């Protein structure tokens, strides 16, 4: 319309210089004259801006150069002039070319200029660049197409339009799939036909339109009806649509079928209710000792939860009624006979969740029955434990009496034994030079009294250990010196047993320990190594590591069986047969307690036939030396 107005004004006057100046001032339109053959006669500023040609470049040239190659080949420039001359005007839109070869979308109006005799003397051509407008229109068109394709591709939602009165004006495949109507069946129909009869007759659809129109939005969940009359639970969103002027032009309606989700939610709620009922029954069973009371509570809970009237427990041999839903009350022990069955008679079929609920109730009842038996077993076990505790106390009392007897007897034996030793030693000195035969016999008697004295000392140590009264008299000394001294004492008996001692001692191993007790454990370990060494070398190693010392005694003898390793440090415990090796089984017991009293550790590694390795680790200064101690009467074990 704007082009037509301008052409109407300019057409009769364009030849004047004044009007050419006006045309030249217009920047948004290319306005120029053509002769009757289409040659450019004039050129304004707008033409130069739109097409890129200066006046000197284009005046005198054919206007066909503004057309694309395809249009020139189709002779469209000539056709447009012919139509304009014949019909008095032509308006077209299409692609045109700039000087640089780029294209733009142009709105073109060509009007003829007639002479006094009515002949066509030339043309006025007005061109406007609509490239940007066309881009925007194309974007809108593409957006509408994408929206249409998107809506048509949605299968899980019914998306459609209503006019202001509620009649359906569009229909997508999701709506057809959900509601069962084809587009041609429903377009033009009122959307109230999707409502149940009671809602449609009450004017519910009209009220929803009123709410959406006034607030812009309406949303609810409720029952809707398909074409076949079946119902589904729907989530509905109704939105008002307004034009740019704010006038209501219709509504969008989006519906989603929520039937399955609603069923799942109801099922979850029912399952939660059933689980709560089972937990309540379980709590009641924990607080109630009688299985019969638990069974009565179970019948009540099943009736209330499943809304059934007839619930009963059946004996294992009892046949359930034909209409009963039955679950077995299993015993907890494998292959045990079931306790019975729980049967519920219902007019409606029970769901899998209902059956699981019955099984859970049956399990609670089974647990209550089993618990009764377990509690009875516990009561019996408790009585037996009390009886066994009494026997244990009697045994411990007997052990205490034995230890006290050993202690008393050992003390009683020591006095006459000491006197006998003194007398024998006196006789030994008197006979040493007069009667060699009697001297040898007397020397054997002295050795036997010494052996008996060591045995008494060991028994007294066992008594002290049992009473927790193993006392230590720590002093500072060099352990390497003591090990060497004890080893020298064993040179002769070791050589007689063909088990020579091999020493690997640190130069100095100072520390604070009870000298006599450490000497006692060295004697115990070396005597065992020589005794069980099977005539092979015995190695003794002493190492110093900062604040600790490690003593290792290794023989290559008979070894200790794996089953015996864990018990050889016990009282009166032996790993070798007493027929072949003498002893009471006290040496390692006493040794272990001496080591532990020094806050150390003792371990053994042994294999049968490959010998044994005893390792002792002692802290060097964990004990404070005593200022003054009387060590008289102490003898080596």
Residues sharing a CB contact under 8 Å with residue 517, sequence separation 6 or more, in sequence order: 472, 594, 597, 598
**pTM (two decimals):** 0.38
Write the pLDDT tens digit of every residue in 341-350: 888 888 788 8
pLDDT value of residue 550: 95
Find the helix packing angle between 587-597 and 436-466, rounded to 10°.
50
Select from 604, 626, 635 the least CA-distant residue to 617: 604
What percent of the chain is predicted at pLDDT more than 70? 78
Measured CA to CA, the distance from residue 76 to residue 67 in angstroms comes to: 8
Distance set, CA 483 to CA 118, 398, 525, 553 (Å): 147, 40, 11, 11
pLDDT value of residue 442: 62
Domain span(s) for CATH 3.30.565.10 in the chain: 470-619
pLDDT above 90 for 73: yes
Tokens of 520: 């006692």
Measured CA to CA, the distance from residue 418 to residue 411 in angstroms comes to: 11
User: Higher-confidence residue: 510 or 623?
Assistant: 510
Write the pLDDT tens digit of every residue in 10-64: 445 444 555 566 566 677 899 999 999 999 999 999 999 999 999 999 999 999 9
pLDDT above 50 for 629: no
- The per-residue pLDDT of the chain, averaged, comes to 81
Distance set, CA 227 to CA 175, 179, 190, 197, 230 (Å): 11, 6, 14, 13, 7
pLDDT above 50 for 633: no
Select from 151, 147, 150, 144 the least CA-distant residue to 172: 151
- Which of the residue ranges 9-13, 247-251, 370-374, 402-406 has the most confident prediction, judged by mean pLDDT? 247-251
Tokens of 387: 């009886």
Measured CA to CA, the distance from residue 346 to residue 32 in angstroms comes to: 96
pLDDT value of residue 310: 85
Measured CA to CA, the distance from residue 155 to residue 174 in angstroms comes to: 4
User: Which overall architecture, per CATH, does domain 470-619 show?
Assistant: 2-Layer Sandwich (3.30)
Domain span(s) for CATH 3.30.450.20 in the chain: 2-130, 154-257
Residue 138 CA, chain-centre distance (Å), reads 52
What's the chain's length in residues?
A: 637
SS3 of residue 73 by DSSP: helix
The DSSP H or E segment spanning 455 is helix 436-466
The domain made up of 2-130 has a fold known as: Beta-Lactamase (3.30.450)
Distance set, CA 527 to CA 139, 284, 460, 621 (Å): 106, 69, 20, 27
Q: If 0-12 CB within 10 Å is exposed, 13-18 middle and 19+ buried, where does residue 624 land?
A: exposed
Q: What is the mean pLDDT of residues 79-94?
A: 94
Per-residue pLDDT band at 434 (split at 50, 70, 90): low
Q: What is the mean pLDDT of residues 88-94?
A: 94
Question: DSSP string of 83-147?
Answer: HHHHHS-EEEEEEEE-TTS-EEEEEEEEEEEE-TTS-EEEEEEEEEE-HHHHHHHHHHHHHHHHH
Per-residue pLDDT band at 306 (split at 50, 70, 90): confident
**154-257 has which CATH code?**
3.30.450.20
User: Are the CB atoms for 572 and 516 separated by under 8 Å?
Assistant: no
Top-level CATH class of 274-384?
A: alpha beta
Residues sharing a CB contact under 8 Å with residue 577, sequence separation 6 or more, in sequence order: none
Work out the angle at residue 7's Cα, subtended by the Cα atoms of residues 36 and 82, and round it to the nearest 5 degrees.
30
């Amino acid at each position: 319309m704007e082009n037509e107005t301008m052409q109407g004004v300019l057409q009769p006057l364009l030849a004047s210089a004044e009007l050419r100046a006006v045309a030249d001032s217009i920047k948004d339109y290319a306005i120029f004259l053509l002769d009757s053959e289409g040659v450019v006669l004039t050129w304004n500023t707008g033409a130069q801006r739109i097409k890129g040609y200066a006046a000197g470049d284009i005046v005198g040239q054919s206007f066909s150069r503004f057309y694309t190659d395809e249009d020139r080949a189709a002779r469209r420039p000539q056709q447009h002039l012919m139509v304009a001359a014949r019909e008095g005007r032509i308006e077209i839109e299409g692609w045109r070319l700039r000087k640089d070869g780029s294209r733009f979308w142009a709105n073109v109006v060509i009007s003829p200029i007639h002479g006094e005799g009515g002949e066509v003397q030339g043309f006025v051509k007005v061109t406007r660049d609509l490239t940007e407008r066309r881009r925007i229109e194309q974007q809108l068109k593409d957006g509408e197409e994408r929206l249409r394709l998107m809506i048509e591709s949605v299968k899980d939602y019914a998306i459609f339009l209503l006019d202001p009165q509620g009649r359906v004006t569009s229909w997508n495949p999701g709506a057809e799939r959900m509601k069962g109507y084809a587009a041609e069946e429903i377009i033009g129909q009122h959307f109230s036909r999707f409502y149940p009869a009671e809602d449609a007759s009450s004017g519910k659809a009209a009220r929803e339109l009123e709410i959406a129109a006034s607030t812009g939005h309406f949303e609810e969940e409720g029952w809707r009806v398909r074409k076949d009359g079946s119902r589904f639970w729907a989530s509905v969103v109704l939105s008002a649509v307004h034009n740019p002027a704010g006038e209501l032009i219709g509504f969008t309606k989006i519906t989603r079928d929520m039937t399955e989700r609603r069923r799942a939610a109801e099922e979850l709620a029912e399952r939660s209710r059933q689980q709560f009922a089972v937990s309540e029954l379980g709590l009641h069973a924990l607080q109630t000792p009688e299985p019969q009371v638990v069974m009565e509570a179970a019948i009540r809970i099943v009736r209330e939860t499943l809304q059934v009237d007839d619930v009963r427990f059946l004996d294992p041999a009892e046949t359930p009624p034909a209409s009963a839903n039955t679950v077995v009350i299993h015993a907890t022990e494998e292959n045990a006979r079931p306790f019975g069955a729980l049967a519920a008679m219902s007019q409606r079929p029970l769901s899998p969740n209902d059956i699981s609920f019955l099984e859970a109730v049956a399990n609670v009842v089974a647990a209550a029955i089993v618990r009764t038996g377990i509690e009875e077993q516990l009561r019996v076990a408790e009585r037996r434990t009390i009886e066994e505790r009494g026997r244990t106390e009697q045994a411990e009392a007997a052990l205490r009496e034995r230890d006290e007897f050993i202690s008393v007897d050992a003390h009683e034996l020591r006095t006459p034994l000491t006197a006998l030793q003194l007398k024998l030693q006196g006789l030994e000195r008197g006979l040493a030079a007069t009667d060699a035969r009697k001297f040898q016999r007397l020397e054997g008697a002295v050795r036997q009294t010494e052996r008996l004295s060591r045995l008494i000392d060991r028994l007294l140590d066992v008594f002290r250990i049992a009473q927790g009264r193993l006392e230590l008299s720590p002093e500072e000394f060099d352990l390497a010196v003591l090990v060497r001294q004890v080893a020298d004492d064993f040179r002769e008996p070791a050589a007689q047993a063909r088990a020579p001692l091999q020493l690997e001692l640190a130069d100095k191993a100072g520390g604070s320990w009870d000298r006599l007790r450490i000497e006692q454990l060295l004697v115990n370990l070396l005597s065992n190594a020589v005794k069980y060494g099977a005539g092979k070398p015995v190695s003794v190693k002493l190492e110093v590591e900062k604040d600790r010392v490690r003593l290792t005694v290794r023989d290559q003898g008979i070894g200790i069986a794996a089953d015996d390793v864990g018990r050889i440090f016990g009282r009166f415990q032996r790993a070798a047969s007493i027929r072949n090796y003498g002893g009471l089984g006290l040496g390692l017991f006493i040794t272990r307690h001496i080591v532990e009293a020094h806050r150390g550790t003792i371990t053994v590694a042994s294999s049968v036939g490959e010998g044994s390795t005893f390792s002792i680790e002692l802290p060097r200064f964990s004990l404070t030396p005593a200022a003054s101690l009387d060590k008289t009467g102490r003898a080596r074990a």
